[in-house]
Amino acid sequence: MSNYDQILFVDREKKVRGFQKLLEPTTRQAVMLIEAPRDMGKTWLLSKMQHHCQEQTARIPVAIIDFRNPREIHEIQDMLGLIRLLRRKLGDTPHFNDLNATINSVTSSPVAAGQGTDAQRGTLRQMMEQAFSLDDIQSIAFDLKFDYENLSGTTKTAKIRALIQTSERLQRLADLITICRQMRPNLDWSQAEQEVGEGETAVSTPSDTRILDQNGQIWADTEMERRRAERLINDAFFACLETIMQETRQIVLLFDSMEEAPDTAEQWIRNELLLRLRDGQIQEAVIIITGRKTPDLTDLDIKHLTVQTDLEPFTEEHVREYFEERRKLSGLDIRTIVLTSGGVPGALAMMADRATTTRQDDDDFFSDL
């Protein structure tokens, strides 16, 4: 079907009203699964729901992800890519500062080697590796009031790297060097201090207090560290959603063409999003999932929160409305169109597009043949 056009939208009023019912505070259900074959208008229906959320009278934060969209699929290389995509779709507002800070603390910077934290803070990192034990690093983190367990990595090198990154993000590098100097006063920390000063302008916090995602990839030596980093990112993301919902009451997440979703995305939706919804961690979220085949959620024990539905072909009445009132096409044999198309919205759209195409006269070359 062609791109969504509000003016051409026909039928599906019952599904739209069902969606609006999900948004009501008294409704227990929060998840709608819409299963239908191709060309039945699933994408248009989600676009209609998105449009409703964006209306001035609603103003509900909404994100729609189409798993057939190559650009969006390219972004979803892993769990972090999906969260970044959802964040962008929801507006990437300062509400996500804590998420961005968490991401920066467990990812490596993509900045070129000559400009990244490792290069700018190389002296500081090397001096700390030579001067301190792992217990010392834990003590320094305590003095800075950082949660040592939240510093990524298990080795001394990894912990030092994470400690420096966290200090830089929170603009505490000067405090870090002060503590290092107090613990090892016999060492000359001036060069490390100079490097910190030279890099300040490049990493200073924006004037609007926004914390920006540095777009790094998860940095982990082991699978355990990776899982821990993913847990921290997920916890931060849902905490940010909760903060947004405290202001807007609701958030709506729309997932289209679920059968095309990468395994990473499907697992995240099942094991993070829906489980947290079930456990009451994101009570005001409404989730719509469409697909030619929707996932079986029996094992999640969320039947009490779920509405399962499908999409029916258009009736003759709706076909007539579409052609005569929406597309302004008259004199057509509507009954034959219904029988030919089977009432499938995608087929009807193609027939209407064909009927409205301006016919071009043959080139004069053929006029005498």
What is the DSSP annotation of 279-312?
Answer: TTTTTTEEEEEEESS----GGGT-GGGEEEEE-P
Domain assignment of residue 344, given as a range: 316-356
Residue 172 and residue 190 in one domain = yes
300 pLDDT higher than 90:
yes
**Residue 221 dihedral angles phi and psi, to the nearest 5°:** -85, -30
Angle in degrees, 0-180, between the axes of helices 122-131 and 156-169, rounded to the nearest 10: 140
Residue type at 33?
A: L
Question: Radius of gyration of the chain from Cα atoms?
Answer: 28
Is pLDDT above 60 for 220? yes
Looking at the fold, whether 226 and 286 belong to one and the same domain comes out as yes
pLDDT single digits (tens) 103-117? 988 887 544 333 444
The answer to whether residues 175 and 119 belong to one domain is yes
Q: Which residue carries 């990595």 as its tokens?
A: 153
**Residue 229 near residue 117 (C-beta atoms within 8 A):** no
Q: 76 with 150, same domain?
A: no
Instruction: Count other Cβ atoms within 10 Å, centred on residue 164.
Output: 22
Average pLDDT across the chain, whole number: 84
- Name the 3-class secondary structure at 14: helix
The reported pLDDT for the residue numbered 222 is: 81
**Is there a domain that residue 47 lies in?**
yes
pTM of the model: 0.70
Does residue 83 form part of some domain? yes
Kindly report the number of other CB atoms within 10 A of residue 356's CB atom.
Answer: 10
Calculate the alpha carbon distances from 365 to 220, 362, 368 in Å: 70, 8, 7
Among 170, 203, 236, identify where a domain stops: 203
- Whether 118 is covered by a domain: the verdict is yes
Does any domain span residue 101? no
Number of domains forming the structure of the chain: 3
Any domain includes 154:
yes
Residue 208 lies in a domain: no
DSSP E strand stretches across 180-260? 217-218, 251-256
Q: For residue range 248-282, what is the model confidence (pLDDT) as tens digits?
A: 889 999 999 999 999 999 999 999 999 999 999 89
* Same-domain pairing of 84 and 162: no
Residue 277: inside a domain, yes or no?
A: yes
Give 305's pLDDT tier (boundaries 50, 70, 90): very high
Whether 212 is covered by a domain: the verdict is: no
Are both 115 and 198 inside the same structural domain? yes
**Do 254 and 331 fall within a single domain?**
no
* Same structural domain, 306 and 349: no
